[in-house]
Structure 1
Amino acid sequence: MVSLPEELQAREDAARQRVEELQAEAVELALRLAKAREDLSWLEITRETVTQVLAELSAAKAEPDIPTEDASPLHMTSAPHGVGVMMVPPWREGLVVAVLPDVYRDIVEIIADAPGPVQAKQIVPRIGLPTTTGKIEGTRGKLKRLVERGWLDEDTPGQFTLARQGPGRDRVNSQ
């Protein structure tokens, strides 16, 4: 016959072993979940990129080339199979935000409505995306592209404002 303290000790040991097994399973599941989330994030980014490229290509086919005085082969708006397609044109006087793809237009409008400089992580939820690292980095890339093309300024790293020579606050929503 087993004594009560021995029985309690045996049950405690069994419970401790079960807790350790469950903790090991939880660690394994947490690692698998992190990997699955990373895979999902990459797939979302890939799908969005492909969708954007296809939309840009179809928009380029729908709009005829409008050469400008300073047009060069590098700045043409269409080419076979999307080679050399530039969907975010360099800003120039008279160019309105409506020429930008939807997501870029949304970004410029959000920055125009902001009282001061805006960071990528502040823009992501305002354009309807989850605030994951992938979405923030993708948006930061778009912001940098808008800076390169003269639509935005980045006086302080990571802080974006409308370009001083770019689309004025009074013209952002025009046309």
Structure 2
Amino acid sequence: MRVEELETEVAGLVRQLEQSREGLDRLRIARETVAEVMAKMSVGSGPVAEVADDDRAPSLYAGGERQVVGALSVSKWQAGKDASALPRVYRDILEVATDAPGPVRPEQFVPRIRLPAEVGKFEGTRAKLKRLVERRWLDEDDPGLFTPGSRRAGA
């Protein structure tokens, strides 16, 4: 009787182990896919932090490893600093905000910076807009309405 219970428990644990291994495999594939996409996107898009092949961060997953592919650098605005210090997509966003007659919503930026009108593009652009607000390149006086940074305009 006890042997049968243990065999049932072991079978359940084996199933859980197989499911966990499948999940880990999917995560590895996803990581590799993201790394490939980021590598393709970073070509010609501005400054990219280069990381040596052996410069790897530890992973939470046993036997897994994480490699940083690249990071776009968005510096804080300073008097005398122009947008040429920013990656291309951020320069495009600033140009749209500067050329607009008034505040601009994230949905209005997407087609103007030559991106397809898709939900993912809106959210990615919104994140970039918020980053530019944090770094003082843009202002967001009303939620969701972006204008060129007043500190920039006054300089």
TM-score normalized with structure 2 length: 0.57
- Matched with 1:13 is none
Check 1:123–1:85 CA distance in 2 against 1; reply closer, same or farther (3 A cut).
closer
Q: Distance in 2 between matches of 1:85 and 1:93?
A: 24
Q: Letter of the aligned partner of 2:139 in structure 1?
A: D
Counterpart-to-counterpart distance in 2, 1:114 and 1:134: 23
Distance 1:135 1:57, change over 3 A: closer
Alignment partner for residue 102 of structure 2, among 91, 112, 116?
A: 116
Match of 1:103 among 65, 75, 89: 89
Deviations 1:149-171 (A, max 9, x none): 010000111100011002x39x9
1:127-138 maps to which residues of 2 (within 5 A)? 127-138=113-124
Determine if contact 1:57/1:82 at 8 Å carries over to the other structure.
no
* DSSP 3-state at the match of 1:160: strand
CA distance in 2, matches of 1:112, 1:57: 20
Could you say what secondary structure the match of 2:147 adopts?
strand
SS, match of residue 161 in structure 1: strand
User: Which structure carries more helix by proportion?
Assistant: 1
Q: Which has the higher strand share?
A: 2
Deviation for aligned residue 1:84? 10
Residues 117, 57 of structure 1: CA spacing in aligned structure 2 closer, same or farther, 3 A cutoff? Answer: closer
In the TM superposition, residue 51 of structure 1 has moved relative to its aligned partner by 3.9
Structure 2 residue 132 is matched with structure 1 residue 146: yes
For each residue in 1:105-131, what CA deviation from the matched residue of structure 2 results, as whole angstroms up to 9, or x when unmatched?
000000000000001100100111111
Aligned-pair identity (%)? 47
State the aligned residue count. Answer: 106
Q: TM-score under structure 1 normalisation? A: 0.51
The residue matched to 1:89 in structure 2 has which SS? coil
SS of alignment partner, residue 128 of structure 2: helix
